[in-house]
Structure 1
Amino acid sequence: MSNQDALVLLATWGAWSLAMLTSRARRIAVAFERLASLAERGRQ
């Protein structure tokens, strides 16, 4: 395994984990928005 192979592997893993994090963060944000709107409706 050359140095370049290791760099490519690291870059691929980094991009994948970043994509996973952003999609998970988006899902969490959507869930929080739903909770907030439910709480808002419950207060009215």
Structure 2
Amino acid sequence: MITEKDASEHDPLVLILQEHLVTQKAEQELLKEEVKNLSENQ
């Protein structure tokens, strides 16, 4: 039986998608911080 972990280790596309997700999450966090800072300054 092939687990999800095995599949992701061998499929470059899956790795790329995972990296995109991680990057998007990080960018979302940054945006949240910026919005928070902006609303505090007003």
TM-score (norm. length: structure 1): 0.72
Letter in 2 for 1:29: Q
Match runs of 1:1-44 below 5 Å: 12-43=11-42
Higher RCO (C-alpha under 8 Å, 6+ residues apart): 2
- Identical-residue share of aligned pairs (%): 3
Gaps of 5+ in 2: 1-6
Number of matched pairs:
34
Greater Rg over alpha carbons, structure: 1
Gaps of 5+ in 1: 1-7
| TM superposition shift of 1:21 | 0.1
Runs ≥4 residues deviating over 4 A: none
| TM superposition shift of 1:29 | 0.2
